Amino acid sequence: METFRHELFEANVGSFVFVQDNQSMSAEVGTVRGLHFQLEPKAQGKLVRCVAGAILDVVVDIRKGSPTFGQHVAVELTAENGKQLWVPPGFAHGFCTLAPSTEISYKVTNYYSAEHDRGILWNDPAIGIEWPIEAGKAILSDKDRKQPTLANLPDAFTYHA
pLDDT in tens, 47-81: 999 999 999 999 999 999 999 999 999 999 999 99
Do the domain assignments include residue 127?
Answer: no
pLDDT of residue 161: 78
Do the domain assignments include residue 101?
Answer: yes
From 100, 105, 98, 94, select the one nearest 54 (Cα to Cα).
Answer: 98
Half-sphere exposure of 153 (CA within 13 A, CB side): 32
> Considering the chain, what percentage of its residues have pLDDT values greater than 70?
100
Do the domain assignments include residue 39?
Answer: yes
Do the domain assignments include residue 38?
Answer: yes
Cross-strand partners of 59? 73, 93
Q: Is 72 a residue of the active site?
A: no
Instruction: Find the CATH number of the domain harbouring 30.
Output: 2.60.120.10
Q: Greatest CA span in the chain, whole angstroms?
A: 44
Total domains present in the chain: 1
Mean pLDDT of the chain: 96
Residue of 6, 36, 112, 159 with catalytic role:
36
Do the domain assignments include residue 34?
Answer: yes
Residue of 6, 72, 93, 106 with catalytic role:
106
Range of the domain at 111: 19-116+138-143
Q: Which of 42-46, 48-52, 87-91, 155-159 has the lowest mean pLDDT?
A: 155-159
- Which amino acid is located at 102 in the chain? T
Average pLDDT over residues 35-49: 97
Residue 40 CA, chain-centre distance (Å), reads 16
User: What distance in Å separates the CA atoms of residue 23 and residue 47, rounded to the nearest whole number?
Assistant: 12
Contact predicate 38/117, CB 8 Å: yes
Q: Is 159 a residue of the active site?
A: no
pTM: 0.94
pLDDT digits (tens, 9 = 90+) for 131-155: 999 878 999 999 999 999 999 998 8
